[in-house]
Amino acid sequence: MDTICQTPVQSIPDDVWKIICETVYKYDYLKMDDRAKRLVEKNTQITPFEGGVFIAVGNRFDLYVVPERQGKWNIRREVNKYLAEMAQKYDVAVVKINKRNDRSLRLAKFFGFEEVGHEKHRTVLEKKLWVI
């Protein structure tokens, strides 16, 4: 897995950053500040979409959705599109989800991710990718 993406810096919209901060605090008890935002923007691949953002380092990614934007876009289409793009570079996509985040675990499994292990308080899931 890549350690740092060498891509142009792309900013995270403020409403998405708020969701990221709330999620990180809820599950990891960490407070995020503007410095953390700049580090994320500089050291990850950010792929925005109408409902939120995908944030990746190599083949490991996170999905953050803004609740106020739900229903205005198709999650199935956006995730499948993102995974198709990821398949151009990688054989496997990886997500690491806090064990208490039942909603995200269900969503990952819905999209075909399978549990492969645990790291600290996170469940590690993988999905084999292929190019059609």
pLDDT of residue 132: 64
pLDDT of residue 51: 85
- The mean of the pLDDT values for the chain is 88
C-alpha span between 126 and 116 (Å, rounded): 7
Asked if pLDDT for residue 2 goes beyond 70, the answer is no
Using pLDDT thresholds of 50, 70 and 90, give the confidence band for residue 10: confident
pLDDT of residue 72: 64
Say how many C-beta atoms besides its own lie within 10 A of residue 22's C-beta.
12
Instruction: Confirm whether pTM is higher than 0.85.
Output: no
Mean pLDDT of 37-51: 93
Using pLDDT thresholds of 50, 70 and 90, give the confidence band for residue 85: very high
Mean pLDDT of 55-60: 95
| Least confident window among 58-62, 76-80, 115-119 | 76-80
Long-range contacts made by residues 68-76, C-beta under 8 angstroms, separation at least 24?
68/15, 73/49, 75/51
The fold of the 14-128 domain, in CATH, is Aminopeptidase (3.40.630)
- For 49, residues 6+ apart whose C-beta sits below 8 A from its C-beta are 73, 78, 82
